[in-house]
Amino acid sequence: MDQGWAAVVAGIVGLVAALGGAAVGGRAAVRGAQVSGNAAHRLWLRQERTRIYEQVHAAYADVAIEVPRVEQALRRREAPSDADTEEMRRAWAALRIACAGTQLFGPGEVVLAAMELRRLSTRCRSNIERWREAVADACTDEEHRRFSDRGDEHRLALRRSHELFMQQCQQVLLGSVPEGTAAD
């Protein structure tokens, strides 16, 4: 009987040890899966942020190319070509859409910088549209000079806003603004 009880006790101890090991192993597996899931989510979020930030940057680059083409014609008191006007409008629309996309992935600092970029781009576009109408209506030299000066001011404000946006993006993606960037 002693051997029988010894075998039962040994079996029970073995079963308890096996269950304890399984519980500890299971718990470790769950924690590992959670850590892996969190890491995967952080990676996905970083990739999505990078994608939308690149869209804003590319759209701004298109605006920075197209606006001077239209303004160049306006400075000569000529109507810009339909193709240049359409490309400028397409670039503005892409910038507005891309800036709005930052609201999906944030964070707040980037969204605020994108919304400021969007607001300033709307002001710049509005000035160009009014300038086009004024040129078509044969505006005075004084009116023409004011539109031209405002165009310069709007483009400068837009460029600075884009630089701030890029600094915020670098802060989010890199953790700090690297040396040799616009923040220096």
Give per-residue pLDDT as tens, 139-148.
Answer: 999 999 999 9
Selected residue with higher pLDDT from 16 and 157: 157
- DSSP 8-class letter at 126: H
Which numeric CATH code is attached to 36-174?
A: 1.20.1440.210
Per-residue pLDDT at 65: 95
68 preceded by a cis bond (ω within 30 of 0) = no
Residue 140: how many other CB atoms lie within 10 Å: 9
Residue whose pair of structure tokens reads 């701030």 in the numeric block: 164
Per-residue pLDDT at 40: 87
Q: Where are the domains of the chain?
A: 36-174
At 96-108, the pLDDT tens digits run: 999 999 999 989 9
Helices (H) then strands (E): counts for the chain: 4, 0
Closest CA to 60 of 82, 84, 93, 85: 93
From CA 67, how far away is CA 54, in angstroms rounded? Answer: 20
Q: How confident is the model at residue 175 (pLDDT cuts 50, 70, 90)?
A: confident
Q: Is the pLDDT at 184 greater than 50, yes or no?
A: no
From CA 56, how far away is CA 47, in angstroms rounded? Answer: 14
Per-residue pLDDT at 33: 55
At 47-82, the pLDDT tens digits run: 999 999 999 999 999 999 999 999 999 999 999 999
